[in-house]
């Protein structure tokens, strides 16, 4: 094989490679991985895949030699789902396979789960993702006390050939009343600017051009490194990276999101005016009780600044039914969501989590009442989402083709370039002026109509 970069394999060499690959696939051990929870967990799962390159990743647990479940453990519903997946994987696994459980659920309940879950062979938490190969080889469970934070690992990006999640930090210094995450993920621990920039630069070399920067609290990025405006510094550095075409930041925190940061995002030619800031509530009494660090007036000032920016996209999240939330506070929130145009809203029913401040609060809201309130606000949120999607009709926008759509082979599935994959919705492509549409490529399209909760578009030209 010569070493010039654009060498083309001839048929015989291709055949040998494919045979070798088939041989490798036949001989190599088979791995099935389930990544539950948030995009931060997904990044850790990708680190594990990077460490297990000798395995062939399969999409059938029944044939896997090793099954890994990267669990989520932050609220009741997520914990239930993690346990359900553990039991269902155990039910499907083949004889002599290894069942490995990792992540937040095991980190949070390591003693109990190791005692109770006899179905599981190996346990690890959130401290050893980069040691998963050793854990499997030695068949020893492991719980390193510090939370793992990737630095230079060669992870396997999943789900896209153009987009990657970039983790900025682990842990959190906030003290939200309802949240157990700081208990098992620890204090804020940021990557260095160099480490983040290096990873983005290396991923751009591999063809990725669209990035979502994530953490528990992104607007506090770098504060543990003595940087008050760490995220602003990072934005400035990332903007200089050649080949990066699209970027957004998720998980801004109200009390650490300055007007200067919002303005930096608005002025950026690279970062979309995409603002993801979970505010959790809007009543001053509840925001204080939840220890969110910013009141109603400040939050509305931030949201208005964000909304007034060009092509702005606002995503937020609310917790419904926190202790001491009276009908008045709930109605205040409901009216606010009716009036303020959010593009996407995530709703969480309050989950009573031990070792949180809210757990010891009095005047807990009755479960049925919480369900009733969630249903009420869900109706309003559905109208908001539709309004946001309808506002795209007739526009010319940029999309990225992601593959076959969830509606089947008659449509290609895509996302708006500024959207985060998976969570902001799917766009259906059924007509194109461009002959061949390629997965991972970006195109300009005309938005024709809204079908259910999906936009239908016609491709007009190739962008990149
Ligand atoms: S910002 Fe609040 S909700 Fe988010 S991880 Fe930190 S403590 Fe939990």
Query: Cβ-count burial of 190 within 10 angstroms (0-12 exposed, 13-18 middle, 19+ buried)?
Result: buried
pLDDT at 1: 35
CA distance 455 to 464: 21
The pair of three-digit structure tokens given for residue 442, joined into one six-digit string: 């970006």
Q: Could you tell me the pLDDT band of residue 4, with boundaries at 50, 70 and 90?
A: very low
Q: What would the pLDDT profile of 82-104 be if each residue is shown by its tens digit? A: 999 999 999 999 999 999 999 99
Mean predicted confidence (pLDDT) in 122-135: 98
Among residues 319, 348, 334, 426, the alpha carbon closest in space to that of 381 is found at: 334
Q: Over 90: is that where the pLDDT of 25 sits?
A: no
CB contact at 8 A, 184 and 73: yes
Among residues 129, 249, 110, the alpha carbon closest in space to that of 183 is found at: 110
Does the beta carbon of 181 sit less than 6 angstroms from any atom of ligand 1? yes
CA distance 463 to 369: 50
Q: Over 90: is that where the pLDDT of 127 sits?
A: yes
CB contact at 8 A, 237 and 270: no
Lowest mean pLDDT among 115-129, 146-160, 259-273: 146-160
pLDDT at 128: 98
Does the beta carbon of 252 sit less than 6 angstroms from any atom of ligand 1? no
Mean predicted confidence (pLDDT) in 241-248: 98
- At residue 314, φ and ψ (nearest 5 deg) are -115, 125
Atom of ligand 1 nearest to the CA of 253: 1
Centre of ligand 1 from the C-alpha of residue 289, in Å: 14
Mutational test site, ligand 1, from 173, 179, 252, 253, max ligand atoms within 8 Å of CB? 179
Q: Over 50: is that where the pLDDT of 6 sits?
A: no
Atom of ligand 1 nearest to the CA of 217: 1
Q: Over 70: is that where the pLDDT of 23 sits?
A: no
Q: What would the pLDDT profile of 258-316 be if each residue is shown by its tens digit? A: 999 999 999 999 999 999 999 999 999 999 999 999 999 999 999 999 999 999 999 99
What are the structural domains, with CATH classification, of the chain?
5-138 (3.40.50.12160), 163-390 (3.80.30.20), 396-462 (2.40.50.140)
Centre of ligand 1 from the C-alpha of residue 177, in Å: 9
Mean predicted confidence (pLDDT) in 14-22: 62
CA distance 336 to 307: 15
Q: Over 50: is that where the pLDDT of 205 sits?
A: yes
Q: Which residues contact 382 (CB under 8 A, 6 or more apart)?
A: none
Does the beta carbon of 176 sit less than 6 angstroms from any atom of ligand 1? yes
CB contact at 8 A, 401 and 441: yes
The pair of three-digit structure tokens given for residue 353, joined into one six-digit string: 């989590």
Q: Which residues contact 14 (CB under 8 A, 6 or more apart)?
A: none
Does the beta carbon of 182 sit less than 6 angstroms from any atom of ligand 1? yes
Does the beta carbon of 280 sit less than 6 angstroms from any atom of ligand 1? no
Does the beta carbon of 61 sit less than 6 angstroms from any atom of ligand 1? no
Percent helix, percent strand, percent coil in the chain, to nearest 5:
40, 25, 40
Q: Whose CA is nearest to atom 4 of ligand 1?
A: 216
CB contact at 8 A, 320 and 349: yes
Mean predicted confidence (pLDDT) in 166-194: 97
Q: Could you tell me the pLDDT band of residue 7, with boundaries at 50, 70 and 90?
A: very low
Q: Chain-wide mean pLDDT for the chain?
A: 94
Among residues 278, 272, 280, the alpha carbon closest in space to that of 313 is found at: 272
CA distance 211 to 166: 7
CA distance 252 to 149: 19
Q: Over 70: is that where the pLDDT of 3 sits?
A: no
Mean predicted confidence (pLDDT) in 154-172: 96
Mean predicted confidence (pLDDT) in 338-362: 97
Query: Cβ-count burial of 253 within 10 angstroms (0-12 exposed, 13-18 middle, 19+ buried)?
Result: buried
């Amino acid at each position: 094989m010569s070493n010039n970069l654009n060498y083309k394999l001839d048929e015989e060499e291709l055949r040998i490679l494919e045979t070798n690959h088939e041989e490798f696939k036949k001989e190599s051990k088979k791995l099935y991985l389930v990544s539950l929870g948030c995009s931060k967990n997904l990044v850790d799962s990708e680190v594990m895949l990077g460490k297990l390159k000798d395995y062939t990743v399969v999409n059938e647990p029944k044939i896997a030699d090793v099954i890994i479940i990267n669990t989520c453990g932050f609220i009741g519903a997520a914990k239930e789902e993690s346990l359900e997946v553990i039991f269902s994987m155990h039910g499907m696994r083949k004889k002599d396979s290894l069942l490995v459980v990792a992540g937040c659920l095991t980190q949070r309940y390591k003693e109990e789960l190791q005692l109770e879950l006899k179905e599981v062979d190996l346990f690890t938490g959130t401290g050893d993702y980069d040691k998963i190969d050793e854990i499997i080889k030695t068949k020893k469970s492991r719980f390193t006390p510090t939370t793992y934070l990737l630095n230079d690992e060669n992870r396997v990006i999943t789900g896209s050939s153009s987009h990657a999640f970039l983790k900025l930090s682990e842990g959190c210094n906030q003290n939200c009343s309802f949240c157990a995450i700081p208990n098992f993920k620890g204090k804020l621990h940021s990557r260095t600017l160099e480490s983040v920039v290096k990873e983005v630069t290396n991923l751009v070399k591999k063809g990725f051009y669209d990035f979502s920067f994530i953490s528990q609290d992104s607007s506090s990025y770098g504060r543990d490194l003595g940087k008050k405006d760490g995220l602003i510094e990072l934005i400035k550095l990332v903007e200089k990276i050649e080949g990066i075409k699209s970027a957004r930041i998720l998980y801004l925190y109200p009390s650490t999101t300055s007007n200067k940061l919002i303005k930096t995002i608005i002025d950026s030619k690279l970062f979309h005016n995409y603002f993801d800031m979970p505010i959790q509530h809007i009543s001053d009494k509840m925001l204080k009780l939840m220890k969110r660090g910013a009141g109603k007036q400040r939050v509305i000032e931030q949201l208005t600044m964000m909304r007034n920016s060009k092509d702005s996209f606002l995503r937020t999240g609310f917790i419904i039914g926190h202790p001491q939330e009276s009908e008045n506070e709930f109605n205040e929130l409901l009216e606010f969501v009716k009036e303020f145009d959010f593009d996407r809203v995530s709703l969480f029913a309050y989950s009573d989590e031990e070792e949180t401040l809210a757990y010891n609060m009095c005047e807990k809201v009755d479960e049925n009442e919480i369900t009733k309130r969630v249903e009420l606000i869900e109706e309003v949120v559905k109208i908001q989402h539709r309004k946001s999607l309808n506002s795209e009709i007739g526009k010319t926008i940029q999309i990225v083709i992601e593959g076959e759509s969830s509606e089947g082979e008659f449509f290609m599935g895509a996302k708006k370039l500024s959207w985060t994959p998976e969570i902001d919705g799917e766009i259906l492509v059924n007509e194109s002026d461009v002959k061949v549409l390629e997965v991972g490529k970006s195109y300009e399209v005309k938005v024709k109509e809204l079908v259910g909760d999906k936009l239908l578009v016609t491709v007009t030209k190739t962008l990149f």
